Structure 1
């Protein structure tokens, strides 16, 4: 099994699940917890929420291996992120104003204020990922030097402390725990280290047990979200948090399971196409999803996956076309 093959499979799974999350999340706002739509959307999210952490794990698996000086890393990696970041920020600002703002009632000062507010964490909600990714990329050259001087046992200790910190930083668990300052171990950096560890120290002994444990974590997410929401009287996304222990376990266990499968050395041309364009698909998919989803004359059962599939294909095609125009490859993602 080629390592690049399973990494590609994981990347494809992650990008599709992210689109599936965005195709289904709107149904969770109804607060009709016993309806089919809410229940269906909850289970889709519960079996998909690990997708963003999975992307970060993949980044750790690939980037913490490299032997580059800090300047070279910044030049190569940040140049790949900053142009798409600027381009899609502008695109989604324009999209927002065209779709949601009536300029007859909004003056220039209000426009500037809206721009500043939306630039704070992303001109569209899903662009928060780029803000987080830039922060991780700034840290990777230093994290790489630290982690490559650690023994396997020391990395395991770090991961244990990081996993413990997820309980302390989670608002639901934190209410029952002392206020230890585990700032050094918190955040998405742990996913990078987890990716590095799993890439270099596969766990074939967990090949089959990883799957039922993965399903168990997702079931906990689904049942727990239902229970918390009913108790609160409104949708409670606490267990959906990307830095929740259940989500971290789901992401890690799926990585282990896919890593241990016997996959072909190369994927088919179609799946390679999706893999190669996955970053661009992430950046552009909201543009298509917001129009495709409402237009589908289907019941919720079929509407959510159909919208996700059509959005995946349309976003991949747009990314491909953007890369064919002058300078398009620098901004497409």
Structure 2
């Protein structure tokens, strides 16, 4: 039996992406993200840099997902239905927990279907489950996209470019209007964006394009890309008069950032760092979905316990929330039934 190759570079990107999500939600708790001053001096506050670390996290997740799923020789509908079922399992379980929590503590009866659909539509305690909803929709098309990839490569590429063109059109129209046009569509259904990044991942896997750099040059370029994205997101927030990172997913600078990072790391089998670093990267990558699911609950708890902590302490809160979410995920994954709350495997 051929041993499955694990790309440490992809695991590193997973780790960075989930860390970015935590940065985004923690930092976003310390300033009014939706309102944006046109004064650039206020826009370059440290708290905004912490927030915009997560600008490329969700696009990166979709790109990695496309890279891993559509990179397979055969993608059957049965395989995808199984993956969709595993994706929806935590949503269903947390919906049941939320239902009984409301029933016991508030004496309130809420339709569980309403709770679950609300989660997938970016509402309620687990509003971040919109990502799972969008991923389910995109993955359901994976057998067809894989067929295109294998049998009609030119058509696949044209479709990829078309989705990219739609993204850029939405972005430039938003800049012209000085308003994020994507705001009228809940994130779950901004499918032009998710299909673009999902298919980009598949395109990278099929072509096997990569940038060969030394480990130190690779890391320096990684830091530079993240910094450029942070600055780009700040200028974009001034143009759009709205600071939410989600409105930059269609921007050219985010597209290029995701592409560059994937080109850097998609073929990297080992980062050539210490054994400790390798184990840490693999550990966090394995707990990615659990951290994604649980970190909002941990964040709310931390904010209640430390209500007087201000924006200057955001890096410490980010670290606390990330590590606590990881440890909680690690523990829950060791318990047979409870593991389904934080796992999609």
TM-score, normalized by the shorter chain, greater than 0.5: yes
Q: Is the 8 A contact 1:64 1:140 kept in 2?
A: yes
In the TM superposition, residue 243 of structure 1 has moved relative to its aligned partner by 3.2
Q: Structure 1, residues 185-235: CA drift from partner, whole Å, max 9, x if none? A: 923111111112223432327987965566434322212213443xxxxx4
Alpha-carbon distance in structure 1 between the residues aligned to 2:36 and 2:78 = 52
Alpha-carbon distance in structure 2 between the residues aligned to 1:250 and 1:86 = 34
3-state SS, counterpart of residue 28 of structure 1: coil
> What is the aligned counterpart of 1:282 among 286, 289, 292?
292
Structure 1 window deviating more from structure 2 (188-197 vs 305-314): it is 305-314
Matched, 1:17 2:28: no
> What is the aligned counterpart of 2:230 among 215, 218, 226?
218
Corresponding residue of 1:121 = 121
Alpha-carbon distance in structure 2 between the residues aligned to 1:289 and 1:17 = 14
Q: Structure 1, residues 279-320: CA drift from partner, whole Å, max 9, x if none? A: 11101111101121453465423x222222222222222222
Corresponding residue of 2:146 = 144
Q: Is the 8 A contact 2:90 2:341 kept in 1?
A: yes
Alpha-carbon distance in structure 2 between the residues aligned to 1:185 and 1:22 = 22
Matched, 1:58 2:64: yes
In the TM superposition, residue 12 of structure 1 has moved relative to its aligned partner by 0.2
Does the C-alpha gap of structure 1 residues 194 and 92 become closer, same or farther in structure 2, counting only changes over 3 Å? farther
Corresponding residue of 1:300 = 311
> What is the aligned counterpart of 2:272 among 238, 254, 264?
264
Does the C-alpha gap of structure 1 residues 299 and 213 become closer, same or farther in structure 2, counting only changes over 3 Å? closer
In the TM superposition, residue 133 of structure 1 has moved relative to its aligned partner by 1.0
Aligned residue pairs, count: 312
> What is the aligned counterpart of 1:309 among 309, 319, 324?
319
Output the aligned Cα RMSD: 3.7
Q: Structure 1, residues 223-277: CA drift from partner, whole Å, max 9, x if none? A: 2213443xxxxx4538734333333232222222344777139753333221111
In the TM superposition, residue 75 of structure 1 has moved relative to its aligned partner by 4.1
Alpha-carbon distance in structure 2 between the residues aligned to 1:331 and 1:289 = 17
Corresponding residue of 2:168 = 167
**Unaligned 5+ residue runs, structure 1?**
177-182, 230-234
Q: Is the 8 A contact 2:284 2:326 kept in 1?
A: yes
Q: Give the structure-1-normalised TM-score.
A: 0.77
Alpha-carbon distance in structure 2 between the residues aligned to 1:184 and 1:40 = 30
